């Protein structure tokens, strides 16, 4: 969905032609997979971070156009809401540079952007859901000015035919309606990319699906929405509901949601793209001029524009990516389950855990996905989103156990082994995975700190929830800039 699109009205002919082009793209992709023409000699990792903008008081700042102009860096781009933006960190090999080099590069980029943003009266904050965000902040006026967002909003509501209902039962209860998709902008995430060879793709995707619940439990950082304390990672149910094109009757018929965990383990990356075409009508049926078959026949690399645009409007928690660069076409997995923040140190630790654990699981003789049902993996995701680091999750061979015990006894050793297989020696691994270990030992992550801090403020006499959230957000930002891992943050 990163490409620019014009504002227009789609005809029945547009939709028919788009569907035909997607089927052609699928045929070309299948041929490319058979002929093994993908770049995978030097696999790279990548990172995108979505951020919120606030003013000096910690309240939402609808200033992304001004901030992007001040930053003046193509690595930065707008997101759905005027209070959002995103940075795309340049891809690299996992073991490139010395210990801390990736972390330092990210901090340098964020600090530069913060300085530029402050000059126009805004500040950056990395958090799953901005705690001070209120329902009036996600009206249609808060949609970013890019035509693609307004077009997407129109198409989702045209498909749905009625307002969105957002309901979350957690510590407290939220039930409201939205007449735009702007509540989706409340969901800001960290997205890890992993380039893989076509033959290895299904194994890495299955592994990523199997550990999605564990990732969320460890890194939950979204306990508040519209002033209510809800799930530990409220971003998960909010995102699922805020882009749902299905009215209740269509849901009852079993039609798949566009924010989708999936429904089965896969044997090829083709399975995912084929499901996209088979199950989901196009939201943005924009056809490219390219004839992908002719491009491939002439020795070129097809862009598969229709297939990739369609893929960008289906929000899998682990999304397949087909892309073409100067070195040729490649495939990668976009891991989308994690919230942003709290600190760069936490983000890098989350990445080390993800990359190491998936590598180790793929290397096992009897893969975890052959011993776990797919529905259990999905149940783990929602249990983890609700309960965070206090969740009890299922894992083959041990049954249902506290996630902290599962990680300390089973998964952290595997993550160490996976990073070692990737070429990362002990002095690199220990500081990174040590953060994950201490989160489990202390049972503290961003969601726990946010909730405890608000409760502390309320007990201390700050009886207005909005004011308690504002004060907590200001303190959060101070600690975020110190870059000390969140499990070390005190509750003042």
Task: Provide, rounded to the nearest whole percent, the portion of the chain with pLDDT above 90.
Answer: 87
pLDDT in tens, 148-201: 888 888 888 888 889 999 999 999 999 999 999 999 999 999 999 999 999 999
pLDDT score at 36 = 74
Residue 102's pLDDT band, with cuts at 50, 70 and 90, is very high
Secondary structure (DSSP) of 9-31: ---HHHHHHHHHHHHHHHHHHHH
**Residue 95 vs residue 266, higher pLDDT:** 266
CA distance 312 to 8: 19
Q: For residues 38 and 110, which has the higher predicted lDDT (pLDDT)?
A: 110
Alpha helices in 176-221 (DSSP H): 201-219
Q: How confident is the model at residue 95 (pLDDT cuts 50, 70, 90)?
A: confident
> Do the Cβ atoms of 283 and 160 come closer than 8 Å?
no
Would you state the pLDDT for residue 351? 97
* Average pLDDT of the residues of the chain: 95
Q: Would you say residue 2 has pLDDT above 70?
A: no
For residues 151, 152, 155, 159, the Cα torsion angle rounded to the nearest 10 degrees is -170
470 contacts: CB under 8 Å, gap ≥ 6: 57, 58, 59, 132
Tell which wins on pLDDT, 12 or 172.
Answer: 172
Residue 96 has what pLDDT? Answer: 84
Strand 259-260 with 315-316, pairing:
parallel
Mean pLDDT in residue range 55-76 = 97
Asked whether the predicted pLDDT for residue 1 surpasses 50, the reply is no
pLDDT at 480 over 90: yes
Distance separating alpha carbons of residues 85 and 49, to the nearest angstrom: 9
Backbone dihedral region for residue 445 (phi beyond 0: left; psi -120 to 50: alpha; all else: beta):
beta
With bands split at pLDDT 50, 70 and 90, how would you rate the model's confidence at 352? very high
Q: What pLDDT sits at residue 209? A: 98
Question: Is 9's pLDDT higher than 80?
Answer: no
Q: Across residues 101-110, what is the average pLDDT?
A: 95
Q: CA separation (Å) from 6 to 10, 138, 152, 312?
A: 11, 23, 11, 16
Count of other CB atoms within 10 angstroms of residue 9 = 7
pLDDT band at 113 (very low <50, low <70, confident <90, very high): very high
Distance between CA 437 and CA 407 in Å, rounded? 8
Beta strand ranges found along 151-229 (DSSP E): 164-169, 173-178, 189-196, 224-225, 228-229
Average pLDDT over residues 467-471: 98
pLDDT tens column, 275-306 = 999 999 999 999 999 999 999 999 999 999 99
Tokens read off for 167: 């309901």
The residues, ordered by sequence, that sit 6+ positions from 114 with a Cβ below 8 Å of its Cβ are: 123, 124
Q: Identify the pLDDT of residue 5.
A: 55
Residue 262 has pLDDT above 90, yes or no: yes
Average of per-residue pLDDT across 468-477: 98
Q: How confident is the model at residue 4 (pLDDT cuts 50, 70, 90)?
A: low
The confidence band for 39, taking pLDDT boundaries of 50, 70 and 90, is confident
Bond prior to 421 in cis (omega within 30° of 0):
no
Q: Which of 11-15, 27-31, 189-193, 397-401 has the lowest mean pLDDT?
A: 11-15
Q: What is the DSSP string of 63-87?
A: -HHHHHHHH--TTEEE-SBTTEEEE
pLDDT digits (tens, 9 = 90+) for 410-459: 999 999 999 999 999 888 899 999 999 999 999 999 999 999 999 999 99
Average confidence (pLDDT) over 463-478:
98
The pLDDT confidence band at residue 400, using thresholds 50, 70 and 90, is very high
The closest alpha carbon to 198, from 309, 261, 273, belongs to 273
Residues in the chain: 492
CB hemisphere CA count around 231 (13 angstroms): 25
**Average pLDDT rounded to a whole number, residues 129-151:** 93
pLDDT in tens, 215-252: 999 999 999 999 999 999 999 999 999 999 998 899 99
pLDDT at 99: 67
| Predicted TM-score of the model (pTM) | 0.96
The predicted pLDDT at position 6 comes to 56
**Distance in angstroms (rounded) separating the CA atoms of residues 154 and 407:** 43
């Amino acid at each position: 969905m990163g490409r620019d699109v014009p504002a227009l009205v789609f005809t029945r002919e547009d939709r028919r032609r788009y569907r035909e082009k997607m089927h052609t793209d699928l045929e070309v992709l299948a041929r490319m997979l058979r002929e093994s023409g993908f770049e995978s000699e030097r696999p790279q990792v990548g990172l995108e971070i979505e951020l919120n903008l606030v003013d000096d008081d910690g309240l939402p700042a609808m200033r992304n156009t001004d901030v992007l102009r001040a930053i003046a860096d193509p690595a930065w781009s707008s997101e759905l809401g005027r209070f959002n933006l995103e940075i795309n960190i340049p891809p690299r090999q996992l073991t490139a540079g010395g210990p801390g080099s990736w972390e330092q590069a990210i901090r340098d980029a964020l600090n530069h952007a913060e300085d530029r943003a402050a000059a126009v009266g805004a500040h950056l904050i990395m958090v799953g859901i901005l705690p001070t965000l209120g329902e009036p902040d996600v009206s249609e006026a808060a949609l970013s000015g890019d035509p693609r967002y307004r077009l997407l909003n129109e198409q989702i509501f045209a498909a749905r035919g009625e307002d969105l209902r957002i309901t979350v039962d957690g510590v407290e209860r939220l039930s409201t309606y939205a007449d735009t998709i702007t509540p989706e902008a409340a969901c800001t995430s960290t997205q890890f990319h992993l380039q893989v060879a076509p033959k290895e793709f299904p194994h890495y995707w299955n592994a990523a699906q199997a550990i999605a619940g564990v990732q969320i439990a460890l890194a939950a950082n979204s306990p508040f929405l519209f002033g209510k304390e809800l799930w530990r990672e409220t971003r998960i149910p909010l995102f699922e509901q805020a882009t749902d094109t299905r009215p209740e009757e269509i849901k009852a018929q079993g039609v798949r949601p566009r924010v989708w965990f999936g429904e089965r383990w896969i044997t090829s990356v083709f399975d995912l793209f084929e499901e996209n075409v088979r199950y989901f009508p196009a939201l943005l049926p924009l056809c490219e001029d390219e004839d992908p078959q002719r491009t491939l026949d002439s020795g070129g690399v097809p862009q598969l524009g229709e297939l990739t645009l369609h893929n960008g409007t289906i929000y899998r928690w682990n999304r397949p990516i087909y892309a073409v660069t100067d070195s040729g076409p490649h495939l990668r997995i976009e891991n989308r389950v994690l919230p942003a923040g709290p600190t760069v140190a936490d983000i890098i630790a989350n990445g080390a855990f993800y990359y190491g654990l998936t590598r180790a699981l793929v290397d096992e003789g009897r893969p975890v996905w052959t011993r776990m049902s797919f529905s259990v993996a999905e149940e783990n995701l929602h249990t983890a989103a609700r309960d965070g680091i206090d969740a009890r999750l299922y894992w083959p061979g041990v049954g249902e156990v506290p996630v902290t015990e599962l990680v300390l006894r089973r998964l952290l050793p595997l993550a160490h082994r996976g990073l070692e297989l990737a070429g990362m020696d002990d002095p690199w691994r220990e500081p990174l995975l040590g953060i994950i270990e201490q989160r489990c030992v202390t049972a503290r992550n961003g969601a726990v700190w946010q909730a405890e801090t608000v409760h502390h403020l309320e007990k201390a006499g700050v009886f207005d929830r909005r004011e308690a959230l504002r004060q907590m957000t200001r303190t959060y930002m101070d600690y975020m800039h110190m870059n000390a891992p969140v499990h070390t943050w005190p509750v003042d």
